[in-house]
Every structure is written in structure tokens, then in C-alpha cells.
């Protein structure tokens, strides 16, 4: 069975978690926790969050179009 694609790194590994329907793999989850004190990785997470919200916005927009 395929795992969903991680919204941060694109990996389809198991053991991650789902946030608002988007998948975050175990590695990235671990990094996210660690990088709270790591300024270099912080920029990566800002970029990832932008992609995350873009995906959500696209989903919401698509849903509204379907509903009409
Ligand atoms: Zn990942």
C-alpha cells in the first residue's frame, strides 16, 4: 500500500502524521521538532509551510468549484 506523499520532502515513508489532510513523514516531523532551535532549518520550514498552504488553498478552491 502506498503512503501519502510528505508535503515537505515528497517522501512516501510510513510512520508520519497527517495535519489537516496533508501528510508529514516521520523524518520531517522529527526535524520540525528539532528545528525549533535551528535557524537554518527554520527557513526550510517556512518554505514548506507555504507549499502546505498552497496545497490546502488549491483543495478548498477546487471544492468550491465542484460545489457550484
Ligand atoms: Zn518528509
Q: Tens digits of per-residue pLDDT, 18-45?
A: 888 889 999 988 887 776 666 667 778 8
Distance 4 CA to ligand 1 centre (A): 10
Distance 31 CA to ligand 1 centre (A): 9
**pLDDT the model gives residue 5:** 92
Count of domains for the chain: 1
**Which pTM value belongs to this model?**
0.54
**pLDDT the model gives residue 38:** 62
Residue 34 lies in a domain: yes
Residue 21 lies in a domain: yes
Q: Is the pLDDT of residue 1 over 60?
A: no
Distance 32 CA to ligand 1 centre (A): 10
Domain that holds residue 59: 17-67
**pLDDT the model gives residue 45:** 80
Percentage helix, strand, coil, to 5, in the chain? 60, 10, 30
Residue 2 lies in a domain: no
Chain-centroid distance of CA 46 in Å reads 11
Mean pLDDT over each residue of the chain, to the nearest integer: 79
Amino acid at each position: 500500500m502506498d503512503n501519502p506523499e510528505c508535503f515537505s520532502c515528497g517522501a512516501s515513508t510510513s510512520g508520519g502524521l497527517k495535519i489537516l489532510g496533508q501528510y508529514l513523514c516521520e523524518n520531517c516531523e522529527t526535524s520540525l521538532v528539532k528545528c525549533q532551535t535551528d535557524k537554518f532549518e527554520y527557513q526550510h520550514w517556512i518554505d514548506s509551510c507555504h507549499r502546505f498552504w498552497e496545497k490546502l488553498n488549491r483543495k478548498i478552491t477546487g471544492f468550491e468549484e465542484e460545489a457550484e
